Structure 1
Protein backbone atom coordinates (compact mmCIF):
# COMPACT_ATOMS: atom_id res chain seq x y z
CA UNK A 1 0.00 0.00 0.00
CA UNK A 2 1.49 3.33 -1.06
CA UNK A 3 1.36 5.70 1.93
CA UNK A 4 1.79 9.45 2.41
CA UNK A 5 2.33 10.95 5.85
CA UNK A 6 1.25 14.61 5.96
CA UNK A 7 1.58 16.80 9.03
CA UNK A 8 1.66 20.36 10.32
CA UNK A 9 3.74 21.31 13.35
CA UNK A 10 4.00 24.73 14.98
CA UNK A 11 6.20 23.81 17.94
CA UNK A 12 7.88 20.62 16.72
CA UNK A 13 5.86 18.06 18.72
CA UNK A 14 3.80 16.84 15.77
CA UNK A 15 6.94 16.81 13.62
CA UNK A 16 8.66 14.55 16.18
CA UNK A 17 5.76 12.07 16.17
CA UNK A 18 5.63 12.15 12.35
CA UNK A 19 9.36 11.34 12.24
CA UNK A 20 8.84 8.37 14.56
CA UNK A 21 5.96 7.07 12.41
CA UNK A 22 8.03 7.49 9.25
CA UNK A 23 10.88 5.60 10.92
CA UNK A 24 8.54 2.66 11.59
CA UNK A 25 7.00 2.37 8.13
CA UNK A 26 7.80 2.92 4.50
CA UNK A 27 6.05 6.10 3.42
CA UNK A 28 6.55 9.45 1.78
CA UNK A 29 6.43 12.48 4.05
CA UNK A 30 5.09 15.99 3.42
CA UNK A 31 5.17 18.82 5.92
CA UNK A 32 2.29 21.26 5.47
CA UNK A 33 3.68 24.79 5.42
CA UNK A 34 1.53 27.78 6.28
CA UNK A 35 2.16 31.22 4.79
CA UNK A 36 1.09 32.94 8.03
CA UNK A 37 3.53 33.59 10.87
CA UNK A 38 2.37 31.62 13.93
CA UNK A 39 5.30 31.93 16.32
CA UNK A 40 5.28 33.71 19.68
CA UNK A 41 2.31 34.68 21.84
CA UNK A 42 0.62 36.67 19.05
CA UNK A 43 0.94 33.69 16.69
CA UNK A 44 -0.49 31.38 19.35
CA UNK A 45 -3.47 33.64 20.03
CA UNK A 46 -4.13 34.13 16.32
CA UNK A 47 -3.94 30.37 15.75
CA UNK A 48 -6.42 29.60 18.54
CA UNK A 49 -8.81 32.32 17.36
CA UNK A 50 -8.72 31.06 13.77
CA UNK A 51 -9.22 27.46 14.91
CA UNK A 52 -12.29 28.45 16.93
CA UNK A 53 -13.71 30.34 13.94
CA UNK A 54 -12.71 27.52 11.57
CA UNK A 55 -11.13 29.94 9.12
CA UNK A 56 -8.84 28.75 6.36
CA UNK A 57 -5.31 29.83 5.61
CA UNK A 58 -3.10 29.96 2.53
CA UNK A 59 -0.68 27.04 2.35
CA UNK A 60 2.58 26.86 0.46
CA UNK A 61 2.36 24.56 -2.60
CA UNK A 62 2.57 20.82 -1.89
CA UNK A 63 5.26 18.63 -3.36
CA UNK A 64 3.12 15.46 -3.29
CA UNK A 65 -0.38 14.77 -4.60
CA UNK A 66 -2.48 12.73 -2.13
CA UNK A 67 -4.39 11.22 -5.07
CA UNK A 68 -1.26 9.19 -5.85
CA UNK A 69 -1.52 7.31 -2.54
CA UNK A 70 -3.68 4.50 -1.18
CA UNK A 71 -3.45 5.84 2.38
CA UNK A 72 -2.80 9.33 3.75
CA UNK A 73 -1.79 9.64 7.41
CA UNK A 74 -2.56 13.15 8.65
CA UNK A 75 -1.02 14.67 11.77
CA UNK A 76 -1.99 17.84 13.58
CA UNK A 77 -1.59 19.64 16.87
CA UNK A 78 -4.84 20.26 18.73
CA UNK A 79 -5.84 23.93 18.72
CA UNK A 80 -8.84 24.83 20.89
CA UNK A 81 -10.20 21.29 20.62
CA UNK A 82 -9.91 21.27 16.81
CA UNK A 83 -7.33 20.42 14.18
CA UNK A 84 -4.83 23.16 13.37
CA UNK A 85 -5.95 25.64 10.73
CA UNK A 86 -3.28 24.48 8.23
CA UNK A 87 -4.45 20.86 8.54
CA UNK A 88 -8.13 21.81 8.22
CA UNK A 89 -7.26 23.80 5.11
CA UNK A 90 -5.26 20.89 3.67
CA UNK A 91 -8.14 18.48 4.28
CA UNK A 92 -10.65 20.82 2.61
CA UNK A 93 -8.37 21.32 -0.40
CA UNK A 94 -7.68 17.59 -0.82
CA UNK A 95 -10.75 15.74 0.47
CA UNK A 96 -11.70 14.46 -2.98
CA UNK A 97 -8.17 13.08 -3.48
CA UNK A 98 -7.80 11.14 -0.21
CA UNK A 99 -8.96 7.52 -0.63
CA UNK A 100 -8.24 6.27 2.92
CA UNK A 101 -6.99 8.21 5.91
CA UNK A 102 -5.56 7.74 9.38
CA UNK A 103 -5.19 10.57 11.90
CA UNK A 104 -2.83 11.41 14.71
CA UNK A 105 -2.63 14.43 16.96
CA UNK A 106 -0.44 15.94 19.65
CA UNK A 107 -1.89 17.98 22.49
CA UNK A 108 -1.22 19.43 25.90
CA UNK A 109 -4.57 19.10 27.64
CA UNK A 110 -7.70 17.78 25.97
CA UNK A 111 -9.45 17.95 22.64
CA UNK A 112 -8.33 14.88 20.74
CA UNK A 113 -11.87 13.52 20.26
CA UNK A 114 -13.19 16.80 18.87
CA UNK A 115 -10.13 17.09 16.65
CA UNK A 116 -10.61 13.64 15.13
CA UNK A 117 -14.36 14.19 14.77
CA UNK A 118 -13.82 17.47 12.89
CA UNK A 119 -11.18 15.93 10.62
CA UNK A 120 -13.59 13.11 9.73
CA UNK A 121 -16.37 15.64 9.07
CA UNK A 122 -14.16 17.62 6.70
CA UNK A 123 -13.10 14.47 4.82
CA UNK A 124 -16.63 13.08 4.92
CA UNK A 125 -15.21 9.69 5.89
CA UNK A 126 -14.03 7.89 9.00
CA UNK A 127 -10.31 7.22 9.51
CA UNK A 128 -8.91 3.70 9.49
CA UNK A 129 -7.03 4.44 12.70
CA UNK A 130 -6.41 7.32 15.14
CA UNK A 131 -3.69 8.04 17.68
CA UNK A 132 -3.40 10.85 20.23
CA UNK A 133 -0.09 11.69 21.92
CA UNK A 134 0.08 14.04 24.89
CA UNK A 135 2.87 16.50 25.50
CA UNK A 136 3.58 14.62 28.75
CA UNK A 137 3.99 11.31 26.88
CA UNK A 138 6.43 13.00 24.53
CA UNK A 139 8.50 14.49 27.37
CA UNK A 140 8.57 11.18 29.25
CA UNK A 141 9.45 9.25 26.07
CA UNK A 142 6.48 6.92 26.41
CA UNK A 143 4.76 7.71 23.10
CA UNK A 144 6.46 4.79 21.31
CA UNK A 145 4.04 2.39 23.02
CA UNK A 146 1.27 4.10 21.02
CA UNK A 147 3.15 4.59 17.76
CA UNK A 148 4.12 0.95 17.27
CA UNK A 149 0.53 -0.43 17.46
CA UNK A 150 -0.75 2.46 15.29
CA UNK A 151 1.77 1.61 12.55
CA UNK A 152 1.23 -2.14 12.96
CA UNK A 153 -2.54 -1.76 12.44
CA UNK A 154 -2.03 0.38 9.34
CA UNK A 155 0.52 -1.93 7.75
CA UNK A 156 -1.26 -5.23 8.45
Structure 2
Protein backbone atom coordinates (compact mmCIF):
# COMPACT_ATOMS: atom_id res chain seq x y z
CA UNK A 1 0.00 0.00 0.00
CA UNK A 2 1.09 3.55 -0.75
CA UNK A 3 -0.52 6.76 0.42
CA UNK A 4 0.02 10.47 0.75
CA UNK A 5 -1.23 12.47 3.71
CA UNK A 6 -0.90 16.22 4.22
CA UNK A 7 -2.75 16.41 7.54
CA UNK A 8 -2.47 12.86 8.91
CA UNK A 9 -6.06 11.77 8.26
CA UNK A 10 -5.21 9.68 5.19
CA UNK A 11 -2.23 8.23 7.11
CA UNK A 12 -4.58 7.09 9.90
CA UNK A 13 -6.88 5.33 7.42
CA UNK A 14 -3.91 3.79 5.56
CA UNK A 15 -2.48 2.45 8.81
CA UNK A 16 -5.77 0.86 9.76
CA UNK A 17 -6.21 -0.79 6.34
CA UNK A 18 -2.59 -2.03 6.36
CA UNK A 19 -3.03 -3.53 9.83
CA UNK A 20 -6.16 -5.38 8.79
CA UNK A 21 -4.66 -6.63 5.51
CA UNK A 22 -1.24 -7.29 7.09
CA UNK A 23 0.42 -5.65 4.09
CA UNK A 24 3.45 -3.47 3.44
CA UNK A 25 2.86 0.25 3.68
CA UNK A 26 4.79 3.21 2.28
CA UNK A 27 4.16 6.92 2.58
CA UNK A 28 4.60 8.92 -0.61
CA UNK A 29 6.78 11.86 0.35
CA UNK A 30 6.64 15.17 -1.49
CA UNK A 31 9.63 17.51 -1.70
CA UNK A 32 7.33 20.58 -1.61
CA UNK A 33 6.19 22.12 1.65
CA UNK A 34 2.39 21.85 1.76
CA UNK A 35 1.76 22.94 5.35
CA UNK A 36 -0.55 25.72 6.50
CA UNK A 37 -3.05 27.73 4.52
CA UNK A 38 -0.57 28.59 1.75
CA UNK A 39 0.26 24.90 1.33
CA UNK A 40 -3.45 24.08 1.27
CA UNK A 41 -4.24 26.69 -1.39
CA UNK A 42 -1.19 25.82 -3.53
CA UNK A 43 -2.05 22.12 -3.32
CA UNK A 44 -5.64 22.57 -4.46
CA UNK A 45 -4.55 24.83 -7.32
CA UNK A 46 -1.92 22.35 -8.53
CA UNK A 47 -4.29 19.36 -8.21
CA UNK A 48 -7.01 21.11 -10.22
CA UNK A 49 -4.49 21.67 -13.02
CA UNK A 50 -3.02 18.16 -12.99
CA UNK A 51 0.46 19.36 -12.02
CA UNK A 52 3.26 17.03 -11.01
CA UNK A 53 5.70 17.39 -8.15
CA UNK A 54 9.08 15.91 -7.30
CA UNK A 55 8.77 12.98 -4.92
CA UNK A 56 11.37 11.58 -2.60
CA UNK A 57 12.68 8.19 -3.78
CA UNK A 58 10.42 5.23 -2.99
CA UNK A 59 11.54 2.39 -0.78
CA UNK A 60 9.39 -0.18 -2.61
CA UNK A 61 8.91 -0.95 -6.30
CA UNK A 62 5.21 -1.37 -7.18
CA UNK A 63 6.12 -3.98 -9.83
CA UNK A 64 7.10 -6.31 -6.95
CA UNK A 65 3.45 -6.51 -5.87
CA UNK A 66 0.42 -8.16 -7.45
CA UNK A 67 -1.84 -5.53 -5.86
CA UNK A 68 -1.10 -1.90 -4.97
CA UNK A 69 -3.58 -0.08 -2.73
CA UNK A 70 -3.31 3.68 -3.24
CA UNK A 71 -4.64 6.22 -0.74
CA UNK A 72 -5.07 9.95 -1.25
CA UNK A 73 -6.84 12.96 0.15
CA UNK A 74 -9.17 14.65 -2.33
CA UNK A 75 -7.82 18.02 -3.45
CA UNK A 76 -10.14 20.21 -5.53
CA UNK A 77 -11.98 17.11 -6.77
CA UNK A 78 -8.74 15.34 -7.73
CA UNK A 79 -6.17 13.01 -6.21
CA UNK A 80 -3.45 14.86 -4.31
CA UNK A 81 -0.56 16.10 -6.45
CA UNK A 82 1.89 13.59 -4.89
CA UNK A 83 -0.45 10.66 -5.60
CA UNK A 84 -1.12 11.86 -9.15
CA UNK A 85 2.63 12.08 -9.71
CA UNK A 86 3.20 8.63 -8.18
CA UNK A 87 0.53 7.08 -10.41
CA UNK A 88 1.92 8.70 -13.56
CA UNK A 89 5.44 7.57 -12.70
CA UNK A 90 4.37 3.99 -11.92
CA UNK A 91 1.31 3.30 -14.10
CA UNK A 92 3.02 0.57 -16.11
CA UNK A 93 4.27 -1.14 -12.92
CA UNK A 94 0.87 -1.47 -11.23
CA UNK A 95 -0.66 -4.87 -12.04
CA UNK A 96 -3.83 -4.48 -9.95
CA UNK A 97 -5.00 -1.56 -7.85
CA UNK A 98 -7.48 -0.66 -5.15
CA UNK A 99 -8.08 2.96 -4.12
CA UNK A 100 -9.20 4.81 -1.03
CA UNK A 101 -9.60 8.50 -0.39
CA UNK A 102 -10.35 10.86 2.44
CA UNK A 103 -12.30 14.04 1.82
CA UNK A 104 -14.23 16.87 3.36
CA UNK A 105 -17.22 17.45 1.16
CA UNK A 106 -17.21 15.99 -2.33
CA UNK A 107 -15.01 14.82 -5.18
CA UNK A 108 -14.41 11.17 -4.34
CA UNK A 109 -15.95 9.74 -7.52
CA UNK A 110 -14.01 12.08 -9.80
CA UNK A 111 -10.83 11.37 -7.85
CA UNK A 112 -11.21 7.62 -8.35
CA UNK A 113 -12.02 8.12 -12.03
CA UNK A 114 -8.88 10.21 -12.60
CA UNK A 115 -6.73 7.69 -10.70
CA UNK A 116 -8.13 4.88 -12.85
CA UNK A 117 -7.55 6.84 -16.06
CA UNK A 118 -3.97 7.57 -15.00
CA UNK A 119 -3.04 3.91 -14.55
CA UNK A 120 -5.21 2.72 -17.44
CA UNK A 121 -7.18 0.16 -15.45
CA UNK A 122 -10.13 -0.11 -13.14
CA UNK A 123 -9.50 -0.67 -9.45
CA UNK A 124 -10.70 -3.92 -7.92
CA UNK A 125 -12.25 -1.91 -5.07
CA UNK A 126 -12.62 1.66 -3.78
CA UNK A 127 -13.70 3.31 -0.56
CA UNK A 128 -14.23 6.99 0.25
CA UNK A 129 -14.08 8.13 3.86
CA UNK A 130 -15.14 11.58 5.03
CA UNK A 131 -13.26 13.76 7.50
CA UNK A 132 -16.30 13.53 9.74
CA UNK A 133 -16.20 9.73 9.75
CA UNK A 134 -12.52 9.88 10.71
CA UNK A 135 -13.08 12.45 13.48
CA UNK A 136 -16.09 10.56 14.87
CA UNK A 137 -14.19 7.27 14.57
CA UNK A 138 -16.99 5.71 12.52
CA UNK A 139 -14.98 4.76 9.43
CA UNK A 140 -14.65 1.11 10.52
CA UNK A 141 -18.04 0.42 8.94
CA UNK A 142 -16.44 1.32 5.57
CA UNK A 143 -12.91 0.01 6.11
CA UNK A 144 -13.93 -3.50 7.17
CA UNK A 145 -16.03 -4.18 4.02
CA UNK A 146 -13.28 -2.63 1.85
CA UNK A 147 -10.68 -4.97 3.35
CA UNK A 148 -12.98 -7.97 2.99
CA UNK A 149 -13.86 -7.07 -0.62
CA UNK A 150 -10.22 -6.45 -1.57
CA UNK A 151 -9.25 -9.83 -0.17
CA UNK A 152 -12.14 -11.56 -1.96
CA UNK A 153 -11.64 -9.75 -5.28
CA UNK A 154 -7.91 -10.30 -5.25
CA UNK A 155 -8.29 -14.00 -4.59
CA UNK A 156 -10.42 -14.25 -7.74
CA UNK A 157 -7.80 -12.26 -9.70
CA UNK A 158 -4.99 -14.73 -8.95
TM-score band by shorter chain is over 0.9
In structure 2, the residue matched to 1:111 is: 107
Question: What is the CA-CA distance between 1:7 and the residue it aligns to?
Answer: 0.1
| Deviation of the 1:26 alpha carbon | 1.7
Is 2:77 the counterpart of 1:81? yes
Deviation at 1:23, TM superposition (A): 1.2
Query: Does residue 144 in structure 1 map to residue 108 in structure 2?
Result: no
String of CA shifts for 1:84-143, please: whole Å, max 9, x gaps.
Answer: 000000000000000000000000000000000000010110000000000010111110
- Residue 27 of structure 1: aligned partner: 23
* Count of aligned pairs: 152
Does residue 72 (structure 1) correspond to residue 80 (structure 2)? The answer is no
SS in 1 for 2:74: strand
Alpha-carbon distance in structure 2 between the residues aligned to 1:111 and 1:53: 15
Name segments (4+ residues, structure 1) moved above 3 Å: none
Partner SS state of residue 84, structure 2: helix
Consecutive unaligned residues of structure 2, counting only runs of 5 or more, are 153-158
Instruction: Please state if 1:39 is matched with 2:23.
Output: no
Aligned to 2:127: 131
Can you give the 5+ residue segments of structure 1 that lack an aligned partner in the other structure? Answer: none
**Separation in 1 of the partners of 2:92 and 2:102?**
25
Correspondent of 1:53 among 49, 65, 71: 49
Pick the structure with more helix per residue. 2
Deviation at 1:154, TM superposition (A): 1.1
Q: CA deviation at 1:39?
A: 0.1
Identify, as 1 or 2, the structure richer in strand: 1
- Report the TM-score, using the length of structure 1 for normalisation: 0.96
Provide the aligned C-alpha RMSD in A. Answer: 0.5
